[in-house]
Amino acid sequence: MAMDNKKVVILVLLDLSAAFDTVNHSILLAWLQKRFGVKGEALDWFRTYLMNRTQTVSLPGGAKSGAQNLTFGVPQGSVLGGVLFCVYTSPIGDILHAQDMSYHLYADDLSLYLALEPNYDHCQIYAIIYPIFRYLAIFSLISILHIGRRLFSR
């Protein structure tokens, strides 16, 4: 539709797969309660599921590390891990709706569709996507927050 209106469409693709390991349990539990209304025993069940988790590393030959407490992350490869990651990233939708931006968010893949006038200024792109990158950086879903002019060269 944007192209039919003679607009330039820019697609920004973000893969947040490493972000599964950065989910803050306290924030996730707060969002389950405040954003999704999870309370009582159900919230306690999620708390038990997330808290007091440990991880060990086993090597061929029997070598094994000591148990390390996990205070961040959701289990990957499980249905619940993906659902919890979606809960954790749900505020992204609020930010994108406020920017009136088209997007597709599926688990750890985020596609942003920017429709701009053909004579757009590079600063427009920065102003549009900065809030989302800022959110991702604040909640440790990305580790780099650098957007330079060279990234947007024509």
Three-class HEC string of 110-143: EEEEEEECCCCCHHHHHHHHHHHHHHHHHCCCCC
CA distance 23 to 84: 9
| Closest C-alpha among 97, 72, 63, 87 to residue 20 | 72
Q: Say if residues 20 and 76 touch (Cβ distance below 8 Å).
A: yes
- Count helices and strands (H / E) in the chain: 5, 5
- Tens digit of each residue's pLDDT (9 = 90 or more) over 92-149: 888 888 878 888 888 778 898 888 888 888 788 888 888 888 888 888 777 654 455 4
Instruction: Supply 60's token pair.
Output: 């061929």
pLDDT band (50, 70, 90) for residue 3: low
CA distance 73 to 28: 10
CA distance 32 to 3: 39
pTM: 0.73
